């Protein structure tokens, strides 16, 4: 089985020479373990170590290329364990037992299904050319010659060695799989496949016999194999496909560590509905090549969508390509709707636009595959990113219309976008995609449309144009007024202080967040009351830090952050804060006015990808930084998490930071949908703790999507388990009484707080 990163590290030279392109031998070992780099990338590895590692790190299933198509290479059974490597390929069967008219019809229909979905071409990748025992070798060769004209890889299915030789000769110059080795002919068929430099397909009457034939072929030196699941019934075929894959991946039986072929055309025996169902079944479990009698759009649309979901990294969002998408025959004079590149958003919005029957240009901007609100809060969907998108795609010259409809959920962006695109009329659209049909049919957008070209044109007889519109004015932050202690239930709320050296669990209150409409409005207008109310509730509940998320805040980020920092610290005895925004200048401005009496400020957050410079920012300002163990996407496994952790730790230490000032976040994952990944997160926390590192994270992510009454139960259970693994902090809702009681109880059990009968009140 594959070695772990630390096992690989023990066999490296440990010189940190950087000749492999990595900063340390540890970083190199982690990348090798995750499959990101080959072992040979290290020029100083000993021959003995290379031999050991090559065998140990090889995937349990062999991987191959047939033309440009990939087969095998899988290391896991489930897509949630790790990204699957090679997608299922579909082949259409044509047989020399068919009359010529039928053969021609099947071959002619193969190219009929060919379309693109989310930047991936959907088509029939291969042709399964079958030889019937009652036909001559010449018939098989003639059919192979016909299929060859399609220019697609072929699976030549034939157990007659002489007929196979004729078929291979007819297929010269085409990528093929020689599929026909049995217990009786495997030696001769292997010679044919070896001569053709092709994979050899192996079949047998039982799994036991298949295992024996593969062992004999391997002993003879042929390990370029593919296994055909040739059971007589659906039940048996399903069982065999799973047993072959499990034997290779779970039991480490490399004799079954090869890709597989499943012929559902034979299993369905002409039943079109059964065949469609079996195509889906063996896409999931576990056909490398699945053979059908024909492909139509009715079969393809759901089938290829299923395949794309299964063979897309589940921990990275599905994205569509940024660009201009004309809907309903839109042209350069049609209005434009703007949204993000998250695939689900694209399909929902484009579907409703099509349903409206109104011509519209859908503009898709790069937002790292995030939804609208998430991208906006993370700074990925901002006026600057939109301006950059317009410049890169030359929107102004490609589209004459100047009507730009933005999502209603980010109406707050209208002014900033208008500043960056002054010649456009920015219109706030609907909050939900389903509302677009009526909105466009009734031309409601025209009520807010301003013809900028007409307004800018000089009046008749005037010698000069009208002056450009004045830039948007930013509301200045008002002075902070402290009127006295904030009261809850007639009791004053004051922050009790925090000892940074204490071992007690650090809670970071999450409720001052710009995604909340009330908080967003308060920040837009510098309204103190809603912000102070939420701060007081969290402090009264026992929060150690407060997270202040102001969103991208491009127009007034520094001013807004300084106002928020001073407002909270002056009203609540210098409560320590986590400064949360994608705007680095805003974080720097907040730190300038920050009072460190109760602890350093926290920079929320850095990662090992595009946000790694936030570690530099924290180092330069003697701040703590939350370091997400990811690189613009969730890590596939703990090997990758620890690789990111070590990369960020090295960067911080190199800049003079203390290790205690980097709080590593494993990224808590949604239980509803990623239940089998929860122990990975907990084990990552244990790994941080074992290395003496501090950890934190957005704990409530784990219960997203659950009913409201269940979320506190799951959050409390998760924090208890995480604290036993060594979690030192979490971003939470401190007003969740069950959660806070669990945290206090765990602190006592871990001997981090003194027990008392009234401990819940301390």
Beta-carbon-side half-sphere exposure of residue 569 (alpha carbons within 13 Å): 23
Residue 398's Cβ-count burial label (10 Å; 0-12, 13-18, 19+) is: exposed
Say what the pLDDT of residue 13 is: 84
How many percent of the chain have pLDDT more than 70? Answer: 93
pLDDT of residue 607: 93
CA-CA distance, 34 to 52, in Å (whole number)? 17
Contact between 648 and 693 (Cβ < 8 Å): no
Q: What pLDDT, in 10s, does the model give residues 457-508? A: 544 444 444 444 444 456 688 888 787 889 998 899 999 898 888 999 999 9
Kindly report the average pLDDT of the chain as a whole number: 90
**Whole-angstrom Cα distance, residue 651 to residue 578?**
21
Residue-level pLDDT at 561:
97
| pLDDT over threshold 80, residue 38 | no
Residue 583 has pLDDT above 70, yes or no: yes
pLDDT of res. 1: 45
Provide the pLDDT for residue 322. Answer: 94
Cβ contact 16:25 at 8 Å: yes
For the full predicted model, state whether its pTM sits above 0.75: no
In contact, 448 and 428? CB cutoff 8 Å: yes
Confidence of residue 57 (pLDDT cuts 50, 70, 90): low
β-strand 694-695 against 662-665: which pairing, if any? parallel
Q: What are phi and psi of 38, to 5 degrees?
A: -80, 155
- For 250-266, what is the mean pLDDT? 93
Report the alpha-carbon distance of residue 52 to residue 32 in Å, rounded.
14
- Greater pLDDT, 601 or 73: 601
Per-residue pLDDT band for 368 (boundaries 50, 70, 90) equals confident
* 282 band by pLDDT with thresholds 50, 70 and 90: very high
pLDDT band at 450, cuts 50/70/90?
confident
pLDDT for position 317: 67
pLDDT at position 481 is 79
Under 8 Å between Cβ of 368 and 380: yes
The larger pLDDT score, comparing residue 363 to residue 14, is at: 363
CA nearest neighbour of 117 among 276, 306, 294:
306
Q: Residue 455 above 80 pLDDT?
A: no
pLDDT of res. 469: 44
Taking only the tens place, the pLDDT of each residue in 315-327 is 666 788 899 999 9
Query: Can you count the helices (H) and strands (E) in the chain?
Result: 29, 27
For the cut 60, the answer to whether the pLDDT of residue 456 exceeds it is no
* CA distances in angstroms from 626 to 385, 401, 498, 501, 665, listed in the order given: 24, 44, 18, 18, 7
Q: In the predicted model, what is the mean pLDDT of residues 371-388?
A: 86
Q: How many CB atoms sit inside 10 A of residue 169's CB? A: 13
pLDDT tens string 711-747: 999 999 999 999 999 999 999 999 999 999 999 999 9
Each residue's pLDDT tens digit, 663-695:
999 999 888 878 888 999 999 999 999 888 999
Whether the predicted pLDDT of 352 surpasses 50? yes
- For residue 201, pLDDT over 80 is answered with yes
* Range 142-152 average pLDDT: 96
Q: For 105-128, what is each residue's pLDDT tens digit?
A: 999 999 999 998 877 899 999 999
Confidence (pLDDT) at 470: 47
Q: Please compute the mean of the pLDDT values over residues 351-369 and round it to a whole number.
A: 93
- Three-class SS of residue 502? coil
Q: Are 311 and 87 in contact (CB under 8 A)?
A: yes
Percent of the chain with pLDDT over 90: 67
Asked if 247 and 294 count as a contact pair (C-beta separation under 8 A), the reply is no
The pLDDT assigned to 355 comes to 93
Is the bond leading into 532 cis (omega within 30 degrees of zero)?
no
Which strands make up the sheet holding 360-365, listed edge to edge? 323-327, 360-365, 336-340, 403-406, 425-428
Cβ atoms of 695 and 689 within 8 Å: the answer is yes
């Amino acid at each position: 089985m594959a070695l772990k990163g630390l096992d690989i590290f023990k066999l490296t030279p440990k010189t940190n020479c950087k000749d492999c392109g990595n900063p340390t031998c540890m970083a190199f070992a982690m990348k090798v373990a995750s499959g990101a780099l080959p072992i040979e990338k290290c020029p100083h590895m000993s021959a003995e170590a290379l031999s050991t590692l090559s065998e140990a790190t090889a995937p349990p299933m062999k991987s191959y290329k047939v033309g440009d198509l990939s087969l095998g290479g899988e290391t896991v059974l489930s897509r949630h364990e790790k990204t699957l490597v090679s997608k299922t390929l579909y082949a259409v069967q044509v047989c020399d037992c068919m009359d010529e008219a039928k053969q021609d019809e099947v071959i002619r229909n193969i190219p009929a299904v060919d379309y693109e979905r989310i930047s991936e071409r959907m088509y029939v990748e291969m042709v399964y050319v079958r030889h019937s025992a009652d036909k001559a070798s010449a018939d098989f060769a003639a059919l192979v010659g016909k299929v060859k004209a399609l220019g697609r890889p072929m699976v030549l299915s034939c157990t007659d060695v002489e007929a196979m030789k004729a078929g291979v000769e007819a297929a010269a110059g085409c990528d093929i799989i020689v599929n026909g080795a049995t217990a009786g002919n495997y030696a001769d068929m292997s010679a044919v496949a070896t001569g053709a430099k092709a994979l050899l397909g192996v079949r047998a009457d039982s799994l036991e016999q298949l295992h024996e034939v593969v062992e004999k072929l391997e002993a003879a030196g042929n390990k370029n194999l593919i296994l055909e699941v040739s059971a007589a019934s659906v039940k048996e075929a399903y069982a065999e496909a799973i047993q072959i894959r499990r034997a290779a991946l779970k039991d480490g039986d490399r004799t079954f560590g090869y890709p597989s072929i499943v012929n559902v055309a034979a299993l369905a025996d002409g039943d079109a509905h059964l065949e469609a169902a079996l195509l889906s079944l063996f896409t999931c479990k576990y056909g490398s090549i699945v053979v059908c009698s024909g492909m139509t759009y009715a079969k393809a649309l759901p089938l290829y969508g299923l395949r794309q979901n299964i063979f897309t990294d589940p921990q990275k969002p599905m994205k569509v390509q940024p660009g201009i998408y004309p809907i309903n025959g839109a042209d350069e004079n049609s209005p434009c709707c703007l949204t993000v590149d998250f695939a689900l958003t694209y399909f929902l919005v484009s579907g409703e636009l099509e349903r409206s029957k109104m011509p519209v240009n859908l503009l898709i901007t790069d937002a790292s595959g995030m939804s609208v609100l998430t991208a906006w809060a993370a700074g990925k969907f901002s006026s600057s990113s939109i301006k950059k998108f317009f410049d890169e795609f030359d929107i102004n010259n490609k589209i004459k219309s100047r009507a730009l409809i933005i999502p209603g959920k980010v109406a707050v962006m209208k002014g900033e976008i208008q500043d960056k695109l002054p010649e456009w009329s920015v219109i706030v659209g609907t909050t939900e995609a389903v509302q677009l049909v009526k909105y466009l049919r009734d031309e409601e957008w025209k009520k807010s449309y301003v013809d900028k070209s007409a307004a800018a044109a000089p009046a008749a007889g005037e010698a000069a144009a009208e002056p450009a519109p004045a830039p948007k004015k930013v509301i200045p932050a008002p002075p902070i007024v402290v009127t006295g202690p904030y009261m809850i239930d007639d009791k004053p709320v004051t922050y009790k202080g925090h000892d940074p050296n204490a071992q007690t669990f650090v809670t970071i209150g999450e409720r001052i967040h710009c995604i909340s409409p009330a908080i967003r409005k308060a920040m837009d207008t510098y309204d103190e009351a809603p912000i102070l109310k939420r701060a007081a509730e969290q402090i009264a509940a026992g929060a150690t830090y407060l997270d202040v998320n102001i969103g991208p805040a491009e127009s007034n980020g520094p001013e807004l952050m300084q106002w928020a920092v001073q407002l909270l610290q002056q009203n609540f005895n210098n409560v320590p804060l986590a400064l949360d925004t994608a705007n680095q200048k805003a974080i720097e401005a907040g730190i300038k006015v920050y009072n460190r009496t109760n602890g350093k400020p926290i920079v929320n957050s850095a990662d090992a990808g595009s946000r790694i410079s936030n570690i530099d920012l924290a180092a330069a300002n003697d701040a703590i930084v939350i370091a997400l163990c990811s690189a613009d996407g969730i890590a596939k496994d703990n090997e990758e998490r620890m690789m990111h952790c070590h990369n960020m730790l090295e960067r911080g230490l190199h800049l003079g930071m203390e290790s205690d000032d980097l709080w590593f976040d494993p990224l808590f994952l949604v239980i509803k949908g990623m239940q089998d990944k929860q122990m990975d997160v907990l084990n990552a926390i244990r790994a941080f703790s074992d290395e003496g590192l501090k950890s934190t994270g957005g704990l409530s992510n784990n219960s997203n999507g659950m009913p409201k009454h269940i979320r506190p139960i799951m959050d409390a259970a998760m924090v208890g388990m995480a604290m036993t693994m060594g979690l030192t902090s979490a971003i939470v809702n401190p007003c969740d009484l069950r959660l806070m009681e669990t945290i206090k109880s765990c602190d006592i059990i871990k001997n981090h707080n003194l027990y008392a009968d009234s401990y819940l009140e301390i």
